Copies of this chain bind each other. A is one copy, B any other.
Amino acid sequence: MVTHIKSLKYTINTGDTVLKELTIFLKKNKYSNYFILCDENTLQHCLPLVITNCTPLVNAHIIEIESGETNKTIEIVINCWHTLLENNADKNALLINLGGGVISDLGGFTASTYKRGIDFINIPTTLLAMADASVGGKTGFDFGGLKNSIGTITQPKAVFIYPAFLNTLSQRHINNGLAEVFKIALINNKVFWDYLKTNTKNYLQLITKSVALKNKVVLKDPTDKGVRKALNFGHTIGHAIESLYLNTKNELLHGEAIVIGMILESHIALQKKLVTKTEFVEIITVLYSNFELKKHLSFTSNQLLQLIKNDKKNSNSKLKFALVNKIGGCKVDAEVTLDQIQKAITYFKTNY
């Protein structure tokens, strides 16, 4: 069975027979050339399955990059551009991003800028990418020590979500994706939030629901100027924490950083009286009971504040956050002071 969700001029297809749909998609669109971007993990665990079930791809060019957020750099993008050029990719070539969020971010950026834009599709292989990153059109890479500081908003031509890929993931990587599932529920849908309190194992259902909710937000505001900013809840502080531990032995996965970000930003929402004490306690209780927070995080307030000041979401030198304002709701462009962030950090350090 395959579920189809319509987005901006493209369809998100989810289900066990989705690779058949991919074959139909490829036959319908007459591309000149196929390129598949993958890392050493998806090359081994996912690519054979894709090629076996989708014969048009048997002669596709494979572009392999090293896995991990530390490789989401301009250097890797440059290598991808070179590979496309060397293999005579023309404007009618297709880039297939087979992997997690790093692959779809990098591949999406590469495709959206190569010869001023070629088509790309996403085949997410992690829960994080299936439930969140592969949908919405945000592409890019980390630059100058800041997460996703360079990028474009360019929609894929289609997304194919094949849940069987999840079987190869560790629990840590499953939790990495669950963080974004809890986030979309918390800021957007109380019913889904309540459901998640007791149901986190039916991944296909979680993916379908998350993607449907995220997609509705993206459709209202594709270019991230208004309501879409709600999706950034937990990400202003979360990205700063993620940046801080990039390239260290305490490196955090994206979702791990976002859970901490959600806790701190919920505390700021409490300080600003956007949520009641009861709501705040509910939020952090649910988060603490579902996620094991990494210990040994020894950041100082100053380190975090410096990174937060340079966040993409700020404007006119004011700190602007998306903040939960009820279970299932969010206020965007909420002004936050350094003092409020400081208090949230102190709270977190005392209690975790």
Contacts and interface: CB of A to CB of B under 8 A. Distances in A.
Given A113-B113, A144-B81, A312-B115, A90 B317 contact: yes
Interface residues of A, number: 39
Nearest to A312: B115
Contacts of A43: none
A112 interface: yes
A315 B150 contact: no
**Max count, chain B CB within 10 A of own CB: residue among A113, A148, A153, A310:** A113
**Max count, chain B CB within 10 A of own CB: residue among A85, A90, A138, A316:** A90
A114 interface: yes
Nearest to A89: B310
Interface in A44-99: 74, 78, 81-82, 85-86, 88, 90-92
A44 to B, nearest CB: 30
Contacts of A317: 32, 88, 90
Interface string A133-150: 000001010011010111
A316 B32 contact: yes
A85 B144 contact: yes
A91 B313 contact: yes
Contacts of A153: 116-117
A30 interface: yes
A88 B146 CA distance: 12
A315 B93 CA distance: 8
Interface in A283-339: 309-310, 312-317
A144 B88 CA distance: 12
B150 A91 contact: no
A153 B116 CA distance: 6
A15 interface: no
Contact of A116 (B88, B312, B314): B312
Nearest to A153: B116
A315 B91 contact: yes
Contacts of A143: 81, 85
Contact of A85 (B86, B88, B140, B146): B146
A317 to B, nearest CB: 6
Given A78-B74, A81-B144, A152 B113 contact: yes
A343 B113 CA distance: 34
Contacts of A114: 149-150
A153 B152 CA distance: 11
A81 B145 CA distance: 12
Contact of A312 (B82, B86, B91, B314): B91
Nearest to A225: B91
Contact of A314 (B91, B113, B150): B91
A251 interface: no
Nearest first, the 8 closest Cβ-Cβ pairs linking A and B are: A92-B315, A32-B316, A115-B312, A85-B144, A116-B151, A90-B314, A90-B315, A113-B150
Given A32-B315, A91-B315, 9 more contacts: A81-B150, A86-B144, A88-B310, A92-B316, A113-B113, A113-B140, A113-B151, A115-B312, A117-B223
Interface of A: 30, 32, 74, 78, 81-82, 85-86, 88, 90-92, 112-117, 138, 140, 143-144, 146, 148-153, 223-224, 309-310, 312-317
